[in-house]
């Protein structure tokens, strides 16, 4: 059975056709958002550092919100659980809060964990806001990742795990990349139905998920299957499963969409995009953190969370 992946060329975030392109991609992917539905827009709001490149573009998130509202969604919430701080803080720093300020949407943090069982043993706390949504619009940014090779739409859903529990998962499962990747696939399986939307207009390469360099790819993509959309990007970048632990784990689990030969492209094809010069690290960093780094990260997260939010001066 073939898996359709919808791709469109969009050169700039200020392209007047961006909203239309996102709507066409989501319609093509069969996004089932309808009248009265509760929709979670799940961007990548990884951290306050370098938010213009490390986070999903506010323009793409806004386009996803407009799509959900035009389809009649009763409640649209934009939320994530960053590595440091809260979703609300990083959304503000990334310009996302301002981008959707005129829309009837809420900007929130993915908190209130509910434990889900893991195939690798134990459990992990996933946000009730994500678990109780009728549908998730999974709006990731195409980036390199020092520990996982790339972070795309499947990895983006790891952000539904609440707060420091992500760091604990790194500590508990990080010594074996296969177990860590299997945990992320367990999170994917526990979540409600989702449609994947990938922001690859300007990507991050050479390093990541926060400290890399920009790469103008000019790509927006969507699919009903995040696995298929990610496989399309791996193929575009000339990667093999041995380079990407999540791809290996998805193949081992027999998930549809892992075979590049089983993908079809109803809109733009892979050869419509040039990824020449895009660099993915050959040697990945360890997934598990040293204890001192873990403690520093927790303290930094608390400081970011507790820091007062600057108030804008009143308009005259």
Which segments in the chain show pLDDT lower than 70?
A: 289-316
How many residues are given for the chain? 316
Helix ranges restricted to H, the chain: 18-28, 51-54, 58-70, 87-93, 96-99, 128-131, 153-156, 165-173, 177-190, 226-236, 245-252, 291-306
Instruction: For residue range 9-40, list pLDDT tens digits in order.
Output: 999 999 999 999 999 999 999 999 999 999 99
Which residues does 266 contact at the CB level (< 8 Å), separation at least 6? 4, 6, 28
Per-residue confidence (pLDDT) for residue 311, from 0 to 100: 44
The pTM of this model reads 0.91
Per-residue confidence (pLDDT) for residue 298, from 0 to 100: 47
Per-residue confidence (pLDDT) for residue 40, from 0 to 100: 98
Fold of 3-282: Rossmann fold (3.40.50)
């Amino acid at each position: 059975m073939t898996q359709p992946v919808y791709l469109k060329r969009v050169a700039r975030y200020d392209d007047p056709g961006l909203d239309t392109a996102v709507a066409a991609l989501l319609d093509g992917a069969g996004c089932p958002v309808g009248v009265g539905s509760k929709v979670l827009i799940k961007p990548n709001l990884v951290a306050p550092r370098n938010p213009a490149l490390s986070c999903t573009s506010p323009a793409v998130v806004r386009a996803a919100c407009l799509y959900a509202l035009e389809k009649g969604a009763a409640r649209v919430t934009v939320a994530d659980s960053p590595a440091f701080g809260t979703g609300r803080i990083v959304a503000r720093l990334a310009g996302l809060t301002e981008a959707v300020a005129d829309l009837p949407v809420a900007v929130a943090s993915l908190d209130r964990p509910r434990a889900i069982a893991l195939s690798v043993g134990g459990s992990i706390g996933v946000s009730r806001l994500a678990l109780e949504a009728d549908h998730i619009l999974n709006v990731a940014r195409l980036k390199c990742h020092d520990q996982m090779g790339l972070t795309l739409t499947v990895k983006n859903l790891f952000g539904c795990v609440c707060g420091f529990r992500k760091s604990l998962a790194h500590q508990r499962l990080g010594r074996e990349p296969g177990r860590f990747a299997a945990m992320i696939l367990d999170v994917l399986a526990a979540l409600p139905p989702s449609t994947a939307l990938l922001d690859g207009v300007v990507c991050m390469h050479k390093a990541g998920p926060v400290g890399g360099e920009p790469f103008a790819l000019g790509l927006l993509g969507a699919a009903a299957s995040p696995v298929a959309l990610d496989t399309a990007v791996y193929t575009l970048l000339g990667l093999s499963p041995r380079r990407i632990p999540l791809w290996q784990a998805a193949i081992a689990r027999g998930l549809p969409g892992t075979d590049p030969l089983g993908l079809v492209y109803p809109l733009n094809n892979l050869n419509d995009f040039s990824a020449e010069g895009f660099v993915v690290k050959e040697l990945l960093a360890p997934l598990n953190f040293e204890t001192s780094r873990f403690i520093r990260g927790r303290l930094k997260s608390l400081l970011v969370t507790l820091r007062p939010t600057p108030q804008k001066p009143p308009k005259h």
